[in-house]
Every structure is written in structure tokens, then in C-alpha cells.
Structure 1
Amino acid sequence: MRARHVQGRRFTLSAFRLEDGYGHPTGVVTLITDATKQYRSYDQLELLQHASAHIGRSLGVEQTAQDLVDTLVPAMGDVAWANLAEAVFDGNEPPKLVGAGDPHLRRAALASATEPWSTELLQPGAAIPPYRDTPGLRRMQHGGAVLLSPATAITLVNSSEPDERFVPKHGHSAMWAPLYARGLVLGSVTVWRTERTEPFDKQDADLLTEITSRAALSVDNARRYVREHRAAVALQQRLLPRATTETPAADTAGLYLPAGGGAEISGDWFDVIPLPSLRTAFVVGDVVGHGLHATATMGRLRTAVQTLADLELDPTELLTHLDDLVTRLAAEASPEHRDTVGATCLYATYDPITGRCLLASAGHPPPVLVQPDGTAQVVGELSPGPPLGVGGMPFETTALDLAPGSVLALYTDGLIQHVHHDPVAGLARLTDRLTTSCRPGRPLEETGRAVIAPATDSPPHDDITLLLARTRALPPEATAEWDFAADPAVVTDARKAVADQLAVWELDDLAFTTELVVSELVTNAIRYAEGPVGVRLIRDEALICEVTDTSNTQPRPRRARWSDEGGRGLFLVAQFTTRWGSRYGQAGKTIWAEQSLAS
């Protein structure tokens, strides 16, 4: 039998029957033992186990502090609070000595065995007045828990009179312990007894020291996570493009939803890259893993895609170069990150003049195409390809002809796996939502929010990225093109055709420069290539002149010597135009030069 004394002491009662030689009962022996110390040890061990299991489950600083005080109340005391340095909430390191003359302390959590919580006490979020800087405080902040009386507590907060902000009503015994971890004083914890009559003793202080030493590590882990999370968020926000963009090829809107309602950041990204000749590239990618490492890898891949896209590579060739980069990053990574370097990517280019869209995938989910009439379907003919970093396996380019007003939806797997983790069912749901949400004239950003709305009901387990692109078409009257034989005599015909077209467009002021560009580029094509030469003019926000030939030779401008009779063609083109470049097709190359029409 067990019993508890009114003052908290515990006793065990054992009774034994006495018998004579014949087995007849002759009496009872009763033994009463004071087992307070034994059961107290059991209770303390149980409390330590509870603290280990419940403190540190969250990566939030405030929640970790709240778990700590909830563990202490009512197990140890009737009232408890935790104060943390202001810097800890932001993920930064606090000063070496928290509180002594430093006003940057804030209440992080509180708990009370008797509800409601007294309004006289400082509430969570309230600033804590600076403690008095004394040698005793300095020793306390680097040691274990100490016992406090109400008078000592009042003196500690630099007050000479009872202050109910720091001493709860009927508080008669208290313990104060620092949250000290990895050489940093993160804050402190205070526990008061108001209802219980027995005061705290040294055994209680030792137990609090053990609990707070473990809790301090959890608080510091949460602080470090906050710092890394904020750095990753800031980096990702700087890396992602604007949510909405407009190019001659398409209107676009990108939406990003981090995992865990913002608690986790990974390497998802999207991009819209303007290309020469009014074309536009659409990119969506997903890097393996979460955190700052994944975000940094995403930044390197996004920069690489932009650089490779500027070279006007075919989607297949671009992904091949990107695959080589990821393989190299994996080889250079530290052992703990080597197996987590990888990514998927979908790269597409769209030409508003031809309406042709070229796509290639590196292990990425297929896009969904919404026709102008509102019907949506998965681009099933696109080969998924291997993920980036596998190496040695080819990628394939798929060509689509898109009508003006079509909407191409690119996304990451988090959008189709946030429910039941079934990508097939998720893709079907996405197609249905695009069918009901995509309407002519509706802003794409509004459409995107409607599409991802079901994923916002609960924090997603993975990042969600969605890029919508509504295609445009350049009117036929904004382009003109001609084919010429590979004969030097056609250079004059090409100059005249260009001049006549510029007159129709009322761009006679650009005739001299454009004729010069056409003359030099056509002459080079006839000299160094075989077969017909194509010339095309494109008018939009700029005047673009293109010359196409059957050669795959890389054009290289050079500075001719004063005695050279030729070799100045590309140099002159570069001097008289805003920019120029070249790209390669299945049979030959195209050299283009652009002149601004801003004036």
C-alpha cells in the first residue's frame, strides 16, 4: 500500500500475517517506510524522459521554448517562463552575456498550472528590462540552476520593490537557470511555486540544470535552422524571376509555394528567358533535397541554364551540358552531400513567328497544354529522359505547334503528389483544374492561384512550383523573308528587297544600316557556304535581320589589319547594331542582328 502525506511525503505500508506452528493466524506485522526519496527519484527520471521526448520536436524557437515550460509545469512548479535573447529569434548569435545591461531580451513562452494566466506578468513577445550586471549574474549564466527567493528575484531585475511582472502572486520559491549551449547564453528559464508549500531544494535545481542543458541544445538547433532557413529563403527569392512577365512570345506567371507552409526551402525554380528573334525559353527545375545546400545548387543550375540558353542551344544539347554540370557538382561535393546532388528539369523554347515549341525533359513531369477552347491534355509524346546527374544517357526534343492563346503549364512534382503521393491521380486532377480555371482573358496569376489552391489547405510536404505561359503569335505583316541563290550577284537584289520592305514599314531611317548588315551577312554566306541563302526581317520592339545558310561554321569576328582587303564584315555588323549572334538548326545556321526601335 502507498500513501502520500499532506506535506508531500510518500510512505509505503507492508503487512505480513503471523501464524503459529499449525498455520493458524496469530497476528499481523505492519511495516511503514518513508519512500519519499525513492519515489522522488522515480518522478525525476520520468520527467527527464518526458523532456527528452517532447523538447526539440519542433524547429521553431518559440515552440521549443513553449515545450520546455510545458514540461516544467506542473511537474516541477506552478508557473514557468522562458526568456530568449532578441538575436535568437532571428537566428543570430546572442551576445556573450545575455541580460546584464542588455535590454534585448524577450519573453518567448510561459505556462501556468492555474488558468487564466495573470495579466500582471509579462506576456510572450514582451521586452524584458535588463538585469543588473553583477558578478553573481555572470557566474549564474555560465553555471547551473540556482534557487531564488522573491526578494532575490526582485533584486535581480534591478528593482527594490515587489513587482508582479516578475514575481507571480503567492510566489514563495523559485529557480532560475540559463539556457547555455555551445558557448552561447541563449536566454534563461524561471520556475515558481505558488500553490505548493514545499520550497525548491538542491535536488530540484540539479534536475532543472539537466533539463535546461538539453533544452538549450534544442533551442540552439532551432536558432541555427532559422538562420539557414532565412538565408535560403532570401537566396531563393533573389534567384527566382518576377512572378509575371510579358514577352513578344508569351505572357507568363510563376507561382512558388514552399514546403511545410514556409518551414522548408528546397531547390525548385522556374525561369522565363527572352531569346533572340523574339523567341522565349521556359524552364522549370527541381533540385534534390532541402535547405541552403539545395538552394545554392539551384542557383548554380539556373545561372547555367541562362548562360546555355543565351548560346541558343537546342533543348537536347542544353540538357546534355546541364547533365555534365550536375555530374561534376556531385563529384566535387562533400561525402555527406554527394548522394544528394541531382535534379530534374524541363526546358522549352517557343517561336511566336512559326508557333513552334521545342521541349526536352530530364526526368521531369510532363507539361499540360490547354488549348484556346479550354480543353487540357498532358503532353504525353514528350520523352521523360533521365534525371540530371545520371550521365551517359541521351535526351530527346519534342516539337509542338501551338495556336495563339494556348496555355502551357510547367510544374514540379510537388503539385501532383501533395495528395496521397499518387502522381498519376495528381496529374489527372491538375488537368481537370486547368480545364476549369484557364479562361480567355483571365489573368494567368489568378489562374495559377486557383490551380494550386487545393494544395494550400494544409502545408505541402514538398515545394510546389507552377509556371503558366500563354502563347502569342506575331502577325504575318510583321515579318518578311526571301530566298536567294548562292550567287554574288544577288547581294544587290537582297539590299533592294530589304530597302523596299523598310519603306513599307516606314523605317527608311534604318535603311542604310540594314542594307549594310544584309550586304555583309549575305556576302559571307555566299563565300563560305553552299546552297541557297535565306533573309528574314522581323519588326516588333526591335528590327531584326536574319541571314540563314547551309554551313555550320562558327562565325568569328576579328579586327582586320590595315592591309587586309576583307575580314571586316562581322566587325561592321557589331558596330552598327545593338547586338548580334548566331544559332544552329538541323541543316545550317542563322546569323541575326538587332537594331533598336525605341526612338
Structure 2
Amino acid sequence: MERIPTPPGDQAQADALPESAYTATATVNEQGIVTGWSEGARRLLGYAPSEVVGHRAARLLCDDIDERALQDAAGRERWSGTVALRHRDGHRLEQRMLVHRPRPDGPVAEWLVVSAVAGQPRTPGDEALGEWAFRQSPSLLAVFDADLRLVRANAGMERALSLTEDQMRGLRLPDLAPHPVSDQAEAKMRLALDSGEVQHVEAYIRPTGVSAEHGWSTTLAPLKDPDGRVRAVCLSAHDTLQEHLARQRMLLLNEAGARIGTTPDVQRTAQELADVAVPRLADFAAIDLLDAVQRGGEVLPVPAAGPLTMDRAAVRSVLDDDVSPFAAGEPSRYPASSPVAQCLAQGHGALYEVSDPAVARWAAQDPQAAAWIREAGTHSVMVVPMRAHGSTLGVALFSRHQRPEPFEPDDLWLAEELTAIAAVSIHSARRRPRERTTTMTLQRSLLPQTLPDQGALDVATRYLPADSRAGVGGDWFDVIPLSGMRVALVVGDVVGHGIRASATMGRLRTAVRTLADVDLPPDELLTHLDDLVIHLSADEGGTEGAAESAGGIGTTCLYAVYDPVSRRCTLARAGHPPPAVVTPDGAVRFLDVPAGPPLGLGGLPFETFETELPEGSLIALYTDGVLEVRDHDIDDSLDKMFAALARPAKTLDMVCERILTSMLTHSPDDDIALLIARTRALDADRVATWDLAFDPAIVAQARRHATDKLTTWQLDDAAFITELVVSELVTNAIRYGRPPIQLRLIHDDSTLICEVFDSSSTAPHMRRARTFDEGGRGLLLVGQLAQRWGTRHAPTGKTVWAEQFLTTD
């Protein structure tokens, strides 16, 4: 462990410091020898470091330590108690101490001894700190008396209910927020009063004064007097809206995999897309298909300019008296300048407010569209092209008029995923025989269509479906860019074959991407995936054919995260074959990743394995179809795969082809997913790290560090935005976090990442500041200036990061 530094400052100057609270710190090894001595320890006992370090700690004690006490302390990692110490001048000093091992698993066994030395006596003003903490806590806090009537409420509670404490005092919770959840919470409060035990409530409600549905995690704790009698109940709650929305999106995508594309009928699939989207995503949905798609003819490219006429295949609205200008089965026409025509020509979806110029031009040229927007009260629109296998099939139009919240980028992503599922099903139904075609198209559409741009790994992939007699299975792979230049690699194998296995694969792949987006460690991600499979199995327990896939029980998965900065790779697997690694010297080996149980069994934990990979190493992830072939046993398969991996190759595609051609002599009995990645390392001069003092004055220095480094990197054009991002993130860390604080900048050819670490685990939340608020705009500003931002949690602390895309001349 690191030694406690002994600053060599002037002794007289140290003695002249004003008396204030300080901490005396020392380290003692297993042999009882003092190895570190702080300035606080010198102030407490009067010994200089040279008089103590290297000597036995027992000489600092006034009394001999009982042998039994030594034996008790030896088996612990922490001990606290009062000890009689001997001052340098000989007088006895009773001092309370905390003794623990900072790193129980560290290479050096040492004890850290700390003692808080009181300075100035407490002042009456210190008693106000508790009141300030209650009033200013960002969580919702309220106290209810024995009659369950509110007696205290903090600012968070006032904001959530748009009521002051005086307005709420004396009222019960159902009076303040009429909702079945309030009745449930009040029942739990009564239980807390009667039992004296803490109660919990998880709910998603729309309290008065809150415009959107919020998720609240609520704790109800009994408040006891010194005699142990329960006198009141404290309610504390925090908002879990973002977690709730992410979970809802994941559940909707899970449902979509099973509800969209159940038949080869094109109109039916379009209607299934509309039914899935309304009302959980949009208030209105219309699906328009090109005429050739309806007739089953060859789909031609969409013209780059000009008006469009399509067939309306499906409509769904939350209103019974829908005012859409085109009903299902009728032609729908769009001017060349309309958002629909523009999005189809550009090939990607877009969000629009009705005040946008594009929508205004559309309404001006199309009176029917203008009447629809006006009469329905539409305020937000999404247009998503329906594309599959490079062909444009039509367009999905979504709008909101009842829900007050406009569409967000996450809603557009969800709409694109839903539309992609429907587009693949329609394309499959048009081009191939029903069962084989639908399953194959669904399977391939749910696999990555293109690999994402990232600088950590070179990647090549292959997917081979099983022989048609067995039916297509549920093997999948994925490459997911993460924060801090890291990349996640995923390979999985769903049990069974056919459309159910493919749909389950799509659900699991979507779940993995959603969980990866919140930067969960590999073992935690697999634990959440395991819970999902258990729930899917329970949902499918009574459906026809559920025995074929059992909701995914028995599915295997391998999840790996590679960091090009540290060159560390962290992996966990759920019953999946271990990955193979080829180091630059040509040595091939399996990584010893703990196996873990297949998904859906529950009860057993998943474990992570971490290793450092030299730059240029190959990682091979695969499904068991690579090894399970009819004409040779598993040992022969392993030998052939190792030999193919060890042979030098110019490209990773050649490595993939070499493995498949050497091991497969006929159509495989099972699906095969193969992913080969070559590691890159980010040069040390592309990363800059600074440890910052926990002081608001350090913000200006942090900005200077960043701008100086950008000048060194010749990225002066990014200095203005980077200064603002660094200022906001460092200020938030000092204001709301805990020391230590660290600033890190990372850049490659196209990306600049700013990261700020602090040891607090509380994640920041973006909010919209009110007109007269003096703060609250920092994260909103970061979100507008950076392309992406987020929070990455560690076992201790968190990292808030923001990513900019660098423009090139």
C-alpha cells in the first residue's frame, strides 16, 4: 500500500497553526512496526517521524494490551475502541481510534490507524446543519405523525407536489396525492408504526404538479424516541424515471419481437407495428407501403426528389374518431418537400415539432395534412423509413397529440427498432417461402447489419444458419461501443430452432444493448439477463409451442469489455464456450473465464475474469456450432480451430473463412456465430489525466489543463466546448460528489472524451431549470454541447463523461 507521507515542512510553522479538528494517521505492519507517520500524528503525540517510523508501535501505549484483545483483533479487518497513548512529554492521553486494512487483498499486510482529534468546540450554529440537510436534500423527505398526518416536508417534497410545507401540514398522503399508490404507501406507514420496521414501496405515479409519469423508490422508516417507542414515520423517496423509461422501452421491444411478423400477410404485419406503437409510444401511427410491396413486385429505389404516392396499409389511434386524412386501404400522397418524402430520400428517420419549417411547408402544400394536424392537436411527429436488406418498403408515421411530452431521440431509436422488425418481416414474406423465409429474415435483421465505428478493435464476423432440416436457430453476436473508448463484444446461443428461437434472440440482444448502455459490469449484466429469461419463460408457460424454446431457458452468452487505454479485457459467461486468444507471438490459449450457469436457471452468481491483452492480440468468440460437427470429435475441432487461429493472416476476414472452411465439410446442424477481434491500444499521448483538489477554485485550473492539452493535440477548435464541459463536470463533482476527483481527456482521430471521476455513487440527473433558478442548467448545457454523455459506475464512485465528435477539414 502507499505510505503515509511525512511532509518535511518547517516544524515551527506547523506548531503555529491555529487549533482546529484534524486527523492523526499512522500505518503499522503485521510485525507491529510503525511504517508511516502523518503530520496529524506528530501534532497529537509530539513525536517526529524519525522518532517513530521503524520502531515498535507498542512503545506509544501507556498500558499493555490484553492477549485476548490481540487475538480478537487478529481475525478482523477493522477494529474501533479507546486506547491510552503516551505523549512524548510523558503524559497519558485517552484517544478513540479506528484501525483497519485499506486493502485486505493487497500484497503488503498493513494496518491503517486513524484518530479524529477535536478542534474548536461545537457552536450552536452547528445544530442547524441537520435542519439544512433535511430541507435541502435532493430526495423527497417528509415526516408523518402517529396519525399519519404530515408534520414536516423538505424542498424536494414541495417541488414534487407543487405545494408548500404549510399547505401540506396536517394532511394525509392520499389527501396530498390522490392515487392508489398513496393508499398503499399509507398502509405501509401504518405497518411501520405498528411493527417498528422499515417498509418499502416501488411505484410509478403522476403526482399533482408533475407533468410526466415518474417512478419513485420510497422508504418508510419508523422514528423512535430515546426509549425506543415509535413516534412518527419518515418518508424518503427518489425519482427513478430514467430507469423506468429504459425498462419500458426494453419491455416494448421484447413484446414487439413476438407480436410483429406473426404471419406472412403484409397488411397484418403493418397493423401489428401500429398496434405495438399505440398507445405506448405514440398517440397515432400510420404505416404506408410502396405499391410494389403491396403487389409483390420488385421494389425500385425511391426517387431522390419528387412527390410520393403510397398505399396506407395500417392506421391506429388512441381516439375512436380518428381524423387522419388517409384511411387504411386508400392511397396517401406526399409533396416532395414533406418530411415523409425527405426522410425516404435520405434513408433515415427524423423528429419534427409542428413549428418546424418542414412541417409548415408540408401543411401549406397539403390542406388535408394541415387539417389533420390542426384538428388532432398534433404537436410532435416522427417519420421512420421502413427498410430491409437495402430496400425501401415504405414509411411509418408516428405522432403525439394527447401526451404532452414531445418525442425524444430515444423514442426515435425505439421507433426505428420497431419499424426494422416489421420491415424485415414484410420483406421476408414477399421474397421467400413462409416459415424458412420469415425465420431467416427475422434472424438476420436482428443481427447487426453493419459494425459500428470504433477505435478499440478491428472486428470481423460470420453467421451461418443451420441446415434447413433443423431450422434456423437463435445464435447472435454484437459489437457495442461504450463510454471511454471501450467496446463490448457479445456472442450468444438461444436453445431451439425456428421463429421462436429467433424472436427470443432478438429480445435478448435488445436487452443486452439496453443494459450495456448503462455501463453495467459483465457479471451484473448477465444477472439482469438471467432475470429477463426467467420472466420470459414464465410469460410463455401457457402458450402453444413454448416447450420448444421455454422462453430462452438454457441460453448461453459471453459478454466481454475491452478497454484500449488500459488494454484490459473483462469477461463473464453464462454456460458459453470460453473465448480463445492469440497473442502477437502466435501462442493460442483459452481464457479461464468462470463458466457460470446458462441463462434462466437462476440462483447461482456469475463471475468476472480480467486480463491484460497485448496490442495486436486476437480474441475469438464463437457459438458451439463451430465445434459440434458430425465428422470429428470435440478434440479434433479444438485442434483445427487453434491451428486456423495461429496461422498468420492479412485480414480478419481471412481468419474467419479459414476457421469455417477447415472445420465445416457440409451444412452445419446448428447455427454458427463467429466473431474475431484484433485489439488496438490507445497511445499514452492520447490520454491525459489530472488529480484535482476538492476545492471550487480548482475549476479554473482544470480548464487550463484541458486547453493546454488540446493545444498540444492541435485541437484548438474544440477548446471552447471542452472548457464549458470540463467546467460543468468538475463543478458538479465538487458540489455534489466526494473526493478524490480526477479529470481525464481521451481522443482519437474523430472523438474527444472528457471524463470526471469522484468517489460518490450518486448519479447526476438532467433537469430543466426554471426561469429564476440560479443553477440547474449545467447538465442540460453538457447534453446540448456534446454528442453523448452519461454516467459510468465503479465499485467505488462514478465517472461522468461527455463525448464530442471532432470535425476534420
Q: TM-score, normalised by structure 1?
A: 0.60
1:109-136 Cα offsets, whole Å, 9 max, x none, are xxxxxxxxxxxxxxxxxxxxxxxxxxxx
Which stretches in structure 1 are left out of the alignment for 5+ residues? 1-90, 94-224
2:586 corresponding residue in structure 1? 374
Alignment of 1:338-377 (within 5 A): 338=547, 340=549, 341-342=552-553, 343-377=555-589
% identical aligned pairs: 52
2:24 corresponding residue in structure 1? none
Q: Which amino acid aligns with 1:327?
A: I
- 462-471 vs 452-461, which moves further: 452-461
1:208-245 Cα offsets, whole Å, 9 max, x none, are xxxxxxxxxxxxxxxxx942111111111212224766
Structure 2: distance between partners of 1:393 and 1:303: 23
Name which one, 1 or 2, has greater alpha-carbon Rg.
1
Contact in 2 for aligned 1:283/1:345 (Cα 8 Å): yes
Contact in 2 for aligned 1:261/1:460 (Cα 8 Å): no
2:477 corresponding residue in structure 1? 270
1:28 corresponding residue in structure 2? none
Pairing partner for 2:621 from 390, 396, 410: 410
Q: Which amino acid aligns with 1:344?
A: T
Contact in 2 for aligned 1:330/1:338 (Cα 8 Å): no
Contact in 2 for aligned 1:485/1:532 (Cα 8 Å): yes
1:357-391 Cα offsets, whole Å, 9 max, x none, are 11110110000001112211111x20010101111
Q: CA deviation at 1:261?
A: 6.5
Structure 1: distance between partners of 2:797 and 2:557: 28
Q: Determine which structure has greater relative contact order: mean sequence separation of CA pairs < 8 Å that are 6+ residues apart, divided by chain length.
A: 1
**Structure 2 counterpart SS, 1:461:** coil
Which stretches in structure 2 are left out of the alignment for 5+ residues? 1-262, 266-431
**Structure 2 counterpart SS, 1:431:** helix
Alignment of 1:533-548 (within 5 A): 533-540=741-748, 541-548=750-757
Pairing partner for 2:697 from 489, 509, 516: 489
Structure 1: distance between partners of 2:545 and 2:446: 25
Q: Which amino acid aligns with 2:774?
A: E
2:759 corresponding residue in structure 1? 550
Q: CA deviation at 1:457?
A: 0.9
Contact in 2 for aligned 1:253/1:445 (Cα 8 Å): yes
Q: CA deviation at 1:536?
A: 0.8
Q: CA deviation at 1:419?
A: 4.0
Contact in 2 for aligned 1:413/1:423 (Cα 8 Å): no
Structure 2: distance between partners of 1:261 and 1:499: 60
Contact in 2 for aligned 1:331/1:338 (Cα 8 Å): no
2:596 corresponding residue in structure 1? 385
Pairing partner for 1:337 from 530, 546, 555: 546
Alignment of 1:432-581 (within 5 A): 432-436=643-647, 438-439=648-649, 442-540=650-748, 541-581=750-790
Q: Which amino acid aligns with 1:295?
A: S
**Structure 2 counterpart SS, 1:317:** helix
Structure 1: distance between partners of 2:625 and 2:685: 43
2:436 corresponding residue in structure 1? 229
Contact in 1 for aligned 2:470/2:670 (Cα 8 Å): no
- 507-516 vs 535-544, which moves further: 507-516
Number of corresponding residues: 374
Structure 2: distance between partners of 1:429 and 1:590: 43
**Structure 2 counterpart SS, 1:509:** helix
1:317 corresponding residue in structure 2? 524
Pairing partner for 1:401 from 591, 612, 626: 612
The change in CA–CA distance for 1:405 and 1:482 in structure 2 (over 3 A counts) is same
1:295 corresponding residue in structure 2? 502
Contact in 2 for aligned 1:378/1:431 (Cα 8 Å): no
Q: CA deviation at 1:264?
A: 2.4
The change in CA–CA distance for 1:455 and 1:259 in structure 2 (over 3 A counts) is farther
Structure 2: distance between partners of 1:262 and 1:548: 54
1:192-217 Cα offsets, whole Å, 9 max, x none, are xxxxxxxxxxxxxxxxxxxxxxxxxx
Q: CA deviation at 1:563?
A: 2.6
Runs of 4+ residues deviating >6 angstroms: none
Structure 1: distance between partners of 2:632 and 2:739: 55
Contact in 2 for aligned 1:245/1:252 (Cα 8 Å): no
Q: CA RMSD in A?
A: 2.1
**Structure 1 counterpart SS, 2:545:** helix
Structure 2: distance between partners of 1:564 and 1:502: 33
